[in-house]
């Protein structure tokens, strides 16, 4: 039984799919006007582990994630750079895939783009207008929030609590300050390639309408799960609900999942505050495996405070796992997924229970470290059967469930092994000069030595 926190109801609920053993999930994607940052990484790694858990629990997952490839930010940046907004968006879409591949994020089933769904968006807006939920003012079309009685049910906000100019956009054309734009009339300085014909004249879609159209077109009027960062709850997701349910007359999404912010010194990471970290810059200092591990060290709904100290702690923790795995594969090459050892069976269940319980990545990681200790405590002696089972379970949890790639530095080459054997023999003979010489040569080649209690030694690639 998978249960998780539903933002719509403000409580943890058991997941009940619309169609048995199937999950339809829509995740809000990036606006590709700049390179990906740590906030993007947190969102998409979070939903990647959630997706993996559904798949591993026997569900077929239909995952749709959009690209907002036409937007004010894209147009403004393209004018600054004097390049096509379409080309600009493509450049940063390519960057998205490059960075997510490094983080081992499984691709969505479909990546719709706004520029390729204009006819469907126009028809959707026209239907809202015909039903009385939308109105045209000189080529700009707005959604009338007064007409949707449940407005605010996701964010739990009331009109009187919303401030115009904060997350409510100012616009003198609106009948109500809280109305939001569905279709934007083309301005004189805007490129024609991001301007399309419509019932209301030349223009382009507003921000919120695209996700409603893409979700309902590709997944149906009601989906199982809609997800994104907490910053999207209002106004974006609130507006999606209003326009979708007004158009279809059906509930838009049964469950809403939102990941917490990335903070820096307890403040939300943002360009305006100057505390902005791109993935490209972070990957120059840290292996993407370390970054992914770090992103899983806090519950997905809590803020994740960025610091180099925290990343270094994650690096050290992952290095400990890698060292245990390296020592393990030096002894056993094969894996056995038929778990018989009671302690291993218990850990497997504890990891599954942790992920079943509101996708508790942090707790799942703690059990992986328990498994590491079992491995280290059983490296000596005739424990081949246990170690083969432990190898399979280690790989299954770290890479299969949590998506952190297992280190491929499994064993040293024959030359390295020869140096290690020579050192071990020198130690037995108490020839410390030769032992030290071998150790230094191995260090120069990028390996460090771990001396085991049974008198043997293991090589581990330096991180």
The pairing of strands 203-205 and 22-27 is unpaired
Per-residue model confidence as pLDDT tens digits over 260-310: 999 987 787 776 677 778 999 999 999 999 999 999 999 999 999 999 999
Q: Is the pLDDT confidence value at 447 over 90?
A: no
pLDDT tens column, 156-215: 987 666 655 455 566 678 999 899 999 999 998 899 999 999 999 999 999 999 999 999
pLDDT tens-digit map of 374-425: 999 999 878 999 999 999 999 999 999 999 999 875 444 556 777 888 898 8
pTM over 0.85: yes
The answer to whether residues 328 and 379 touch, using CB atoms and an 8 Å cutoff, is: yes
pLDDT digits (tens, 9 = 90+) for 307-358: 999 999 999 999 999 999 999 998 898 999 999 999 999 999 999 999 999 9
79-107 pLDDT, tens digit each? 999 999 999 999 999 999 999 999 999 99
Structure tokens at 418: 């020869």
Helices (H) and strands (E) in the chain, counts: 14, 15
- Strands 22-27 and 60-65 turn out to be parallel
End-to-end CA, the chain: 39
Residue 449 C-alpha from the chain's centroid: 36
Q: What is the pLDDT of residue 169?
A: 63
């Amino acid at each position: 039984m998978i249960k998780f926190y539903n933002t719509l109801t403000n409580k943890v609920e058991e997941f009940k799919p619309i169609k048995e053993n199937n999950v339809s999930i829509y995740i809000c994607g990036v606006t590709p006007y700049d390179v990906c940052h740590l906030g993007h990484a947190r969102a998409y790694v979070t939903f990647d582990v959630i997706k993996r858990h559904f798949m591993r629990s026997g569900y077929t997952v239909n995952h749709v994630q959009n690209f907002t490839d036409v937007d004010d930010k894209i147009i403004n940046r393209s004018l600054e750079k004097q390049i096509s907004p379409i080309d600009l968006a493509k450049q940063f879409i390519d960057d998205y895939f490059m960075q997510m591949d490094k983080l081992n994020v499984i691709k969505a089933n479909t990546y719709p783009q706004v520029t390729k769904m204009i006819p469907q968006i126009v028809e959707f807006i026209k239907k809202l207008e015909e039903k009385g939920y939308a109105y045209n003012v000189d080529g700009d079309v707005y959604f009338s929030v007064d007409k949707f009685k449940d407005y605010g049910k996701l964010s739990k906000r009331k009109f009187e609590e919303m401030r115009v100019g904060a997350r409510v956009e100012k616009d003198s054309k609106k009948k109500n300050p809280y109305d939001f734009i569905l279709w934007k009339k083309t301005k004189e300085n805007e490129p024609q390639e991001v301007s399309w014909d419509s019932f209301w004249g030349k223009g382009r879609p507003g921000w919120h309408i695209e996700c409603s159209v893409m979700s309902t077109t590709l997944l149906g009027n009601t989906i199982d799960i809609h997800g994104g960062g907490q910053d999207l709850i209002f106004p974006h997701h609130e507006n999606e609900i209003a326009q979708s349910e007004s158009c279809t007359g059906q509930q838009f999404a049964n469950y809403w999942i939102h990941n917490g912010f990335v903070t820096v010194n307890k403040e939300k990471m943002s360009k305006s505050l100057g505390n902005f970290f791109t993935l490209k810059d972070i990957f120059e200092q840290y292996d993407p495996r370390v970054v992914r591990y770090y992103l899983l060290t806090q519950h997905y709904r809590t803020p994740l405070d960025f610091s180099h100290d925290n990343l270094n702690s994650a690096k050290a923790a992952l290095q400990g796992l890698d060292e245990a795995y390296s020592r393990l594969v030096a002894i056993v090459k094969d894996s056995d997924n038929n778990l018989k050892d009671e302690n291993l069976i218990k850990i497997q269940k504890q990891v599954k229970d942790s992920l079943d319980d509101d996708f508790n990545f942090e707790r799942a990681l703690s059990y992986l470290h328990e498994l590491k200790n079992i491995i280290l405590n059983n490296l000596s002696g005739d424990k081949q059967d246990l170690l083969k089972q432990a190898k399979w379970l280690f790989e299954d949890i770290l890479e299969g469930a949590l998506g952190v790639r297992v280190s491929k530095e499994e064993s040293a080459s024959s030359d390295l092994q020869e140096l290690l054997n020579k050192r071990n023999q020198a130690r037995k003979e108490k020839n410390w000069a030769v032992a030290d010489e071998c150790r230094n040569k191995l260090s120069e080649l990028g390996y460090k030595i771990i001396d085991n209690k049974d008198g043997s030694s293991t090589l581990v690639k330096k991180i």
